Every structure is written in C-alpha cells, then in structure tokens.
Amino acid sequence: MPKPLTVMWFRQDLRLRDNPALLAACAAGSVLPVYILDDKHAGDWPMGAASRWWLQQSLIELDKSLKNKLWVLQGDPLELLPTLMQEQGATHINWNRCYEPWRIQRDKKLQASLTDSGFEVASYNGSLLWEPWTNLKGDQTPYKVFTPFYKNARANLPPPELPEPAPRSVPLASCEQAADKIDKLALTPEIQWYDGMAECWQPGENGAGDKLSQFLNNGIQSYKSGRDFPASQSVSRLSPHLHYGEISPRQVWHAAQAESGDTRLEGQIEHYHRELAWRDFSYSLLYHFPNLTKQNMNPRFDAFPWRQDDKLLKAWQCGATGYPLVDAGMRELWQTGYMHNRVRMVVGSFLVKNLMHHWQDGARWFWDCLVDADLPNNTCSWQWVAGCGADAAPYFRIFNPITQSSKFDPDGDYIKQFVPELAKLPAKYLHDPHSAPANVLDAAGVKLGETYPEPVVDLKQSREAALDAYQQIKVS
C-alpha cells in the first residue's frame, strides 16, 4: 500500500529542527511543503514592510533546506490548499498551531472544510512553551499578571519538552513551480531601504542558530543586569527568529538550561527563562482577550484624553524629538528594524505620556518597522507601557528619557552610534544637550534647532499633564 502524501503547511515555523508537524509528516510518507502568503484574513494587521523583508529572506533559506521544493503561494488558504491537495493527490495536511485571533478563525474554518472533504488534518504545538489553554488559574480563568502565570507554569505544568532534531531525511514530493516563485510574492519594493537591516541580520534557521550561540557565548553571563544597557551585547536578539519560527522557544529554553552546569549562571538563566515565558504570557493574553489590538484591557482608559498631533507624531517617528535617547531608539528602529528592549519602554512612554498620543499610534509604527513585529507581544507591550494593559503597576509609569539615558547609557555609546551629530559632546551633556553651555555646543559643532532639534515638549510640564489626565480617569 503506498504511503500517503502529506502537505506540510509552513506558517510561523520556518525551520526543520524541532518542528513537530514536519516530523509527523515525514514519518507518515511523502511530504509536500507549502507556504502561503495570506494577506486576505489578516484584517488590520497584514505584515509590515520590515516583516516582509525578513520573510523573503527566511523563505529563501527554508527553500534551500528543502532542496528548492517548497511550494510558495499567495492568496486565500481556504481556496488554495484544497485545490493543491486535490491536484497533487495529498490525503493529509499538517501544521503547527498559530494563536493570533484572525489565524485561529481561519484555521478552524479550514480544518472543518478539509475534514468534511475527507482529508486528514493534524495540528501541533511548535511555537510556545505552554499553550494558552494549559496555564490557567484554579477557576480555569486566564492569568492577567505575569508572576503568578509563570509560577504556576513552573510549579504545576510539565517543563517544556526537549526539542527534536531535524528529520534524518525529508521525503519530498516534486515542486513544479518556477525558480522565481518567492520573488513573485513581491515582498520588498524596488527601493532598497532595507540595506541597514541586511547588514544587521541573517534571517533563516542557520542565522537563528548562530544568534543563539553568540548569546550563550557572550551575552548570558551578564544577562540579568546587562540587558538594561542598550550599548552592551547582553540580550539575545532572538525575537525575530522566534517570531518566524526559525528556532523554537523549546530549543532556546533548553540551550540556556544546558549552561546551568556553571552555578554562576543559574540566576542569569532563570531570568532569561522568565523573559521567554513573557512571550507565552502575551500570547495567552491575546488568545483569551482577542480584542486587545483595538480595546484597552483597562476600560477606564477609554476616557483618557489622547492627543492627535501629526507634527509631534512625525518628530517621534523620525527620531527628532530633541531627547537623545528617544531619538537614538527611533533611528535604530528605522535603520535596523530593531530596538533594544529598555529603549522600547522609554520611547513608548514618551509617546503615550509626554506626547499624549494613543498607544495604537506607536503599535502601528512598530508593526511596520520591526523585523520582530509580533501581534501578541507588540499589542501587550504597548498596552503595558501605556498603563492600560495587564500586569500594570499601581502607578502611572513615566520614564524620564534623560535620567534613563544617564543610568543605562552613561558613556553615551548608544546615543553616539545613532545620533552621531551629538558624538563630540562631553558625556555630561550628551543626555541633555539643551543644558550645555553655548561654548560647549560650539566646540562640539552642535547648533540646537539646526543640527539637532529643540525639545518638542517640556518633560516636567508634559509629565504633570499626563498625571492629571490619569487622575481624572482614575477617580471617574
């Protein structure tokens, strides 16, 4: 009896190692791998420009690892997959589960349709440490605070499973598509605005493995404290690789755990494990509260007096606010498709507190510019920094960009890299050039309002205005 042909539908799992859906497909018989660019069902959240650039490179790498036999399609999976399966004689389809609301709705419809048509459908967990319905409170409701979410997972759930190696061989079906199949997706424009990203990143499974090795060799030793300093190399920068599934969180979790033989690293590894679990927490929140992308988790913020000032928003987007740490972060984002986590909090706070802009303005800009744009993490992080989301502190967080800069970039190395027009200023004034005497500015070649902008808002006044607004919705 001939073995079945299984369609392996790649989505956010663009790898061969530790890919449960792929392993099951290989064990069953021949495999027809396919990727579908689905902009139809994404609604308000089709992939942004930086994400599309990354996706193109990642698909190229995946296709190479599959001996150029990856099918690449564009359109509605509900129409494309049944047609492909019928034409190619496939009887089974496997995929790893996705958790964004629009993908869940689409996949449920597709599974029902395929099953009704006589196809065998199987799905797996290839993206999370603990799936959203497994880590619940005793009353079976979801956690809204991270610490008990994490403690319950560690105490009462099985630890993340050990990652599986890549299949020894993938019995691939033939692919009849032309060599330019990925180019036909037109993921990147003719204008090569993405050169800076290409210099910083190596998308694909091999790039993910290299990035993990770099972190374990050079970063995890100082992760707990060093992760707050944007000029250091203490963070993993694995977020885009995790988002596209070029590496699984189980691989990362256990690779870090393997370093625990050195007792000096136990605290560092535990802290890193917590950060990996934060990713699961965001996925759990969006799974259980699917309207988070457009609704405040704390409904009191529905009455918050957000401002709409296109000039201020543009200054923030372009890194021209007059506050060096904010400007450095926004320019890093534009140039590299990435921003250090500490700086993300600072620029986010500046937008929603000092400029009083709605957090969704920031979420949409990040969505377009980040190579690690991830709907659960992006949404929950912006709601957190705005104060309207889960795990909010009992006060209105407002990060002062000058004091944050002085504390976490004391020598100004990060600022000098991305705001080079200030590089000749002494460190004393680098964090707040507007406090520098005229002769110091002249010696550094800085002309406020010309070579570097004046502050777009006053920190003290804008902070007081935000606190006043918060008090109004707090007592209402």
161, 275, 298, 421: which one is catalytic? 275
- Write the pLDDT tens digit of every residue in 350-403: 999 999 999 999 999 999 999 999 999 999 999 999 999 987 664 578 999 999
pLDDT at 475: 58
359, 377, 400, 454: which one is catalytic? 359
Judge whether 341 counts as a catalytic residue.
yes
Region 183-205 average pLDDT: 91
156, 341, 454, 464: which one is catalytic? 341
- Write the pLDDT tens digit of every residue in 288-318: 999 999 999 999 999 999 999 999 999 999 9
Region 433-451 average pLDDT: 97
* Dist CA 121 CA 100 (whole Å): 20
- Write the pLDDT tens digit of every residue in 40-82: 999 999 999 999 999 999 999 999 999 999 999 999 999 999 9
* Domains, in order of start, for the chain: 5-127 (3.40.50.620), 128-162+203-289 (1.25.40.80), 299-475 (1.10.579.10)
CB-CB contact of 445 with 424 (8 Å):
yes
Judge whether 95 counts as a catalytic residue.
no
131, 161, 259, 278: which one is catalytic? 278
Diameter of the chain measured on Cα atoms: 87
Model confidence, pTM: 0.96
Judge whether 278 counts as a catalytic residue.
yes
